């Protein structure tokens, strides 16, 4: 059992795929890696290059867990493309993402930090305020996943998942409130379909993501009188470079089980970024307290034969 860095959140997708291909019954004929299932019919696939609408012009967004590739990076780039100044906080060193963000003129500040460390949380806020003087949008994207049956999970692993996914998000939200624009400020929490539907091996992870949804609902009531909105998204499986490395091993039968709970196909990071951009924009000014499922709905069952390492 080991930690899975999910500062791009979609790394969970890689674990789902890797375990499914090992544990689910299927034929011995692997799927051609060049024929991985489409996200959507070609005619309906959106471009990752979103139009520059300028709807975030003059605004500042702080995104945690944004890396070179993946959901966090896609969100940061989408908001920058639409005019926002960006503050990026992550435990890694996303040089390629920073290079892309610096193509825009609104400015970008990077803080290498761990959201479970109180001093780091304070430093993230201070760096953003020093650079921009305000914060309009907080995107709580940072998270990790540990796959294990509950009875086999160590105390350290259990604590770390809770600290990053739930306590870290709460800490970031609390720290940003004195600086968040009001009215008009927005907090966007990145949850997961696994917070809406269960999957063996993800009991603690699912608990943290369900907790984020409850946090979103209750905090929205607290902040509504100040004109601050709190919303979330709950993505299902998202394509990522890490997920594609398993492509040569995944059987057609396994893909059928994965696809069965994704009626619109497997998602892309920019699909999540598009939803976040809408919810963070003034176009969603009358939406608060909700977590939007992406690529999946509760009446589409998740795989129940998923088994963790060593089970």
Write the secondary structure of the chain as one string of H (helix), E (strand) and C (coil).
CCCEECCCCCHHHHHHHHHHHHHCCCCCCCCCHHHCCCCCCHHHCCCCCCCCCCCCCCCEEEEECCCCCCHHHHHHHHHHHCCCEEEEEECCCCHHHHHHHCCCCCCEEEEECCCCCHHHHHHHHHHHHHHHCCECEEEECCCEECCCCHHHCCHHHHHHHHHHHHHHHHHHHHHHCCCECCCCCEEEEECCHHHCCCCCCCHHHHHHHHHHHHHHHHHHHHHHHHCCEEEEEEECCECCHHHHCCCCCCCHHHHHHHHHCCCCCCECHHHHHHHHHHHHCHHHCCCCCCEEEECCCCCCCCCCCCCCCCC
Give Cα 270 to chain centroid, integer Å.
11
| Structural contact between residues 230 and 288, judged by C-beta atoms closer than 8 angstroms | yes
Q: Which of these, 186, 182, 199, lies nearest to 16 by C-alpha position?
A: 199
205 annotated active-site:
yes
User: What count of residues does the chain have?
Assistant: 311
The residue annotated as part of the active site, out of 56, 104, 110, 205, is 205
Q: Which residues are catalytic?
A: 205
């Amino acid at each position: 059992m080991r930690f899975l860095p999910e500062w791009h959140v979609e790394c969970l997708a890689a674990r789902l795929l890797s375990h499914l291909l090992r544990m689910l019954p299927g034929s011995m004929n692997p799927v051609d890696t060049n024929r991985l299932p489409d996200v959507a019919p070609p005619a309906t696939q959106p471009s990752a290059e979103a139009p520059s609408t300028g709807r975030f012009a003059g605004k500042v967004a702080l995104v945690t867990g944004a890396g070179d590739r993946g959901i966090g990076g896609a969100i940061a780039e989408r908001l920058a493309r639409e005019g926002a100044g960006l503050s990026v906080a992550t435990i890694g060193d996303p040089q390629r993402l920073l290079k892309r963000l610096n193509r825009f003129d609104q400015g970008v500040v990077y803080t290498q930090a761990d959201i479970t460390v109180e001093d780091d949380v304070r430093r993230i806020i201070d760096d953003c305020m020093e650079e921009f003087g305000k914060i309009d949008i907080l995107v709580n994207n940072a998270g990790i996943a540990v796959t294990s049956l509950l009875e086999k999970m160590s105390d350290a692993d259990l604590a770390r998942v809770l600290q990053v996914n739930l306590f870290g998000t709460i800490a970031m939200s609390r720290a940003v409130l004195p600086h968040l624009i009001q009215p008009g400020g927005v907090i966007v929490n990145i949850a997961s379909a696994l917070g809406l539907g269960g999957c063996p091996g993800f009991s603690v992870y699912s608990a943290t993501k369900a907790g984020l949804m409850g946090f979103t609902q209750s905090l929205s009531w607290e902040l509504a009188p100040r004109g601050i909105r709190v919303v979330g998204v709950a993505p299902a499986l998202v394509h990522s470079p890490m997920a594609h490395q398993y492509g040569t091993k995944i059987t057609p039968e396994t893909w059928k089980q994965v696809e069965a709970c994704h009626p619109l196909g497997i998602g892309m990071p920019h699909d999540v970024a598009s939803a976040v951009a809408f919810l963070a924009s003034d176009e969603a000014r009358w939406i608060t307290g909700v977590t939007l499922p992406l690529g999946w709905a509760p009446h589409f069952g998740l795989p129940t034969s998923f088994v963790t390492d060593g089970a």
